[in-house]
Chain A
Amino acid sequence: MPIIVPAVRAQAASPETLERAFEGAYADCWTPVFRLALAWTNDWPAAEEIAQESFARLWMRRNSVDWSEPLLPWLLTTARHLATDRFRRLRRLVSQSRAIETTLDLEQHARWLDIRAAFSRLSPLERAALALTAISGLDSEEAATTLGTTSAAVRSAVFRARRKLEEA
């Protein structure tokens, strides 16, 4: 669930405390947030942008965030929304129209192209359900909350995803 709480709660925190909390959130949550964005878009540069923007938004709202609560649900939901919104579509087009510029080295890049092709047979929902449950360890209820659907739909999407990958 999102973790916006009355501003007074965070105003008591010192800047140094907030910075440490933010760095902790980055260390704990970057990979699952990036994975959700990657699953939704199947586009490495766009996914890094989405994850990056999600963390930037967290820092923008630092004074209204309850840092004692788990931050991953908020970050995942924000990333899912960003991955779907109009600006993201535009960026995706841009990234598709150019040579892929990623943090990957050449060998990783080649592996990514192969994996991306296999995962392109899956729908965004199927990839995202798989990433959240089989890889990031959320249960189907938590994944459903993030993806704005039902746990049954998540389980079904994971089943379809595996079936498609079996054939890939």
Chain B
Amino acid sequence: MNGQSTEDRGNNADRRIGEWADLSATSHPLAARPEVLRASVEAGVMERRGSRRSVPGLAMVMLVVLVVAGVGFAVSRQRSVVAPSASASAVASASVSANPSASPRPSASPQPLITSPGDRVFAMGRTDERSGWAFLWSIDPTNVEKKRPMLLVTEDGGATWRDATPRRTGFGPVIEFVDADHGWYLSGPMLWRTTDGARSWQETSLPTPFVVDTAAMSFVSASTGYLLAPADSATNSDTWVVYRTDDGGASLQAVSEVVLPGETASSSPDPAIAFSDRLDGVVAGWNVALQTHDGGAHWSPVDLPAPVGSKTATYVGLDQLRAFGPYVVLLAWMGGPGATAYLSDDAGRTWRQASTAWSQSTSDIWAIVDGQTWLDFTAAGSGSIQVGATSDAGRSWTELTFPFSWRVTAASFVSATDGWAILGTDCRASSDCWLGRLAQTHDGGVTWQPVQ
């Protein structure tokens, strides 16, 4: 190029590579010294015994927890956003396990009402307009009695909450409710199930000799669901077992095994499973996405088209996988800087790209309401946020940018307008910045109020 010889150009590349190598060898941050890491881990911040779903990240170091003061969620509107109503999905999030021989055992006695889930919310989900749940790492980290993970549920839109934590839990359970009454909670080797809105839980253990701390699940009804768990969590195996239940999780039958290349019980984050009905489902890991149309007996690769602007379709990772009847939404990493949304309207048989160049080029948090209605929250530079909304599965988007000083770390909507989000703190100030406080919106994310 431009008068340079081939040799010069090669030297230029070697010089750049050498500079990169030299400089990258200088990284030795104090916070990552072995003794500092050991102390931080042993202080309990990340001691979740392998729950991989919730990655604390930077967590470990210099734990100065800055509790963010004041919740001023009102924002000014710069562009109008269209947020048409849509039917709400009942599914909150995903995953887990059970054993046929375990005897049901109720747990969780009635608890006093709680007025606020606080600011250490790790995960949450909406079940319907009135019901939802929040999983906290603690409701009061300064109180020894209350310094424990908790599941809270509300039945009045977040005005009051009750402690619905199963008898034993870790810090990274997988939680799913298909309606206000029926839900499942996986923590460690136990699957807890409720049929009364988490007032009581029955436990079963996985039909495997291994302690399973990684799993995914998908229920298509109160009785029928599928579970994906490592075949052997004690080795390097990347074989996973698909289990099925037809009695609400009281018993599980192994249906088949699938291989997720490079994905073992210790890798992170978790794979996902989503079933449209009793026969049709998708499993997505970090290197492969698979489909079944015979109840999990046989699996074949999902055929995703190349993203717009790319010649090849290289599936490299999973962001979200959700099923709503025949509609399956897969947010996939395709080698670009952001997730690409794919939609199938025939339970995973065929797929089309449903995100715009705009949305797939950003780093964002998606709220998948149903097969047609999605919201996309993207940090748009310092102190502002961009919200994209579609009610026609990505064919058209409306965008809104407004000042916003919080980080959206998770979002769950029951319609295009009505939703919750976890608003996280600044990672510069807090090592617990993956935790946050719950906020609600009734106008598609334009204004937010604390849930309490």
Contact = CB atoms under 8 A, between A and B. Distances in A.
Interface of A: 1-7, 19, 22-23, 26, 30-31, 34-35, 38, 44, 47-49, 51-53, 55-57, 59-61, 64, 74, 77-78, 81-82, 84-94, 97-98, 101, 103-104, 108, 111-112, 115, 118-119, 123-125, 130-131, 134-135, 145, 148-149, 153, 162-163, 165-168
Nearest to B268: A81
Contacts of B424: 90
Interface string B379-395: 10111000000000000
19 contacts: A2-B264, A4-B266, A6-B234, A31-B27, A35-B24, A38-B27, A55-B34, A56-B41, A74-B266, A81-B269, A88-B57, A94-B427, A104-B23, A123-B335, A130-B17, A148-B286, A148-B317, A166-B1, A167-B1
Given A52-B60, A115-B20, A148 B261 contact: yes
B61 interface: yes
B57 to A, nearest CB: 5
A27 to B, nearest CB: 8
Contact of B57 (A5, A49, A97): A49
Of B19, B234, B266, which is in contact with the most chain A CB atoms at under 10 Å from its CB?
B266
A55 B32 contact: yes
Contacts, number: 204
Interface stretch (B6-14, B92-100, B186-194, B216-224): B6-14
A162 to B, nearest CB: 5
Contact of B13 (A78, A91, A93, A166): A166
Interface of B: 1, 9-10, 12-13, 16-17, 19-21, 23-34, 37-38, 40-41, 46-50, 55-61, 233-236, 261-262, 264-269, 286-287, 314, 316-317, 319, 333, 335-338, 363-365, 379, 381-383, 407, 409, 424, 426-428, 434
Contacts of B46: 56-57, 60
B23 A124 contact: no
A3 B264 CA distance: 10
Given A103-B28, A148-B262, A60 B57 contact: no
Nearest to A7: B234
B59 to A, nearest CB: 7
Given A55-B37, A98-B382, A166 B58 contact: no
A90 B60 contact: no
A91 B264 contact: no
